[in-house]
Amino acid sequence: MPKIWLDGRYYEKEEAKLSVFDHGLLYGDGVFEGIRAYDGRVFRLGLHLDRLYASAHALLLDIPLAPEAMADVVEDCVRVNGLADAYIRLVVTRGYGDLGLDPRKCKRATVICIADSIALWPAEVYARGLTMITAPTSVNQPSGLAPQIKSLNYLAHIMAKFEAINAGADEALMLEPTGEVAEGVGENVFCVKGQALRTPPGYAGILRGVTRDAVMEVAREAGYEVREETLTRYDLYTADEVFLTGTAAEVVGVARLDGRKIGCGQVGPVTKDIMARFGELARRGG
Ligand code: PMP
């Protein structure tokens, strides 16, 4: 049974409770991270914390712990739960206030750390590749809430996930309002043509994934050409292979998009190679 770290103390799962006046619940006012540990080592914790603190800063949210103390919480939570391989969820909300949305009423942010496990899809889905549809719901516009902020407002992505489920697909591709390719509901997207990998640039409407960076690194080391470029669905439809990357998903191939086969409609050799290389990197400690 996982022990949950909440504002400085561990609680049993059933005892880890928040106020109904917490603005994380009332308004989705907060930030979070999804992090993995492999063989007891937390993968690229520094980069996850950089993103967490940047997201919080963008939302004028003060995290009441220094990044070093937050790193200790994450490491300790994995240890206390006796986990070697873990999925860790860090959540920071604005804290509890009143029913108005004035954030000044929230005197102290709430901090939660959960170390557990996650499996987005069974092994056979990784073997056959995902079926995807393009979601009618697009990612947030940069003129509103920047897509680079990993906030507790995930409703656009949850709607896209519903749209995939309702269409009988495993996952959704989300576009920018302009029609360019953005990302999956919780993953970044890559396409492969020959020995070249392409992914939308960091300034596009995407979350800048930690896994995306790691995959670009291992791919370059392996001699692939890697480019960050604006992509349209044409690029995905005509790619040899498409795959997604994310902390929870890791690396997963795409077999079909919008009913069309991608390449030969199976997980291709480059995707398999990247999956293996990413797996090695993760087990080496990142
Ligand atoms: N895009 C979105 C919207 C996400 O939620 C995630 C998961 N954090 C990603 C991409 C992938 O990011 P990472 O590799 O850091 O998990």
| Residues 180-231: tens digit of each pLDDT | 999 999 999 999 999 999 999 999 999 999 999 999 999 999 999 999 999 9
Contact partners, residue 233, CB within 8 Å, separation at least 6: 134, 173, 175, 179, 181, 257, 258
Q: Please tell me the predicted confidence (pLDDT) of residue 285.
A: 85
102 pLDDT exceeds 90? yes
Residue 67: pLDDT band (50, 70, 90) is very high
Q: Please tell me the predicted confidence (pLDDT) of residue 286.
A: 81
Q: Which of 188, 190, 278 to mutate to test the pocket of ligand 1 (most atoms within 8 A of CB)?
A: 188
User: What are the structure tokens assigned to 21, written together?
Assistant: 């006046």
Q: Considering only the C-alpha atoms of the chain, give the largest distance between any 2 of them, rounded to a whole number of Å.
A: 56
Q: Please tell me the predicted confidence (pLDDT) of residue 1.
A: 67
Q: Go through the domains of the chain in sequence order and give each one's CATH number.
A: 3-116 (3.30.470.10), 123-283 (3.20.10.10)
Angle subtended by helix axes 67-80 and 45-58, to nearest 10:
130
Cα–Cα distance, 64 to 92 (Å, whole number): 9
Cα–Cα distance, 150 to 165 (Å, whole number): 23
Cα–Cα distance, 133 to 265 (Å, whole number): 14
Which residue puts its alpha carbon closest to atom 9 of ligand 1?
187
pTM above 0.95, yes or no: yes
Q: What value, to the nearest 5°, has the Cα angle with vertex 153 and ends 148 and 155?
A: 110
Phi first, then psi, for residue 228 (nearest 5°) are -95, 115
Question: Above pLDDT 70, what percent of the chain?
Answer: 100
Of 13, 150, 193, 261, the catalytic one is 150
* CA 69 vs CA 63, 85, 111: distances in Å: 11, 22, 12
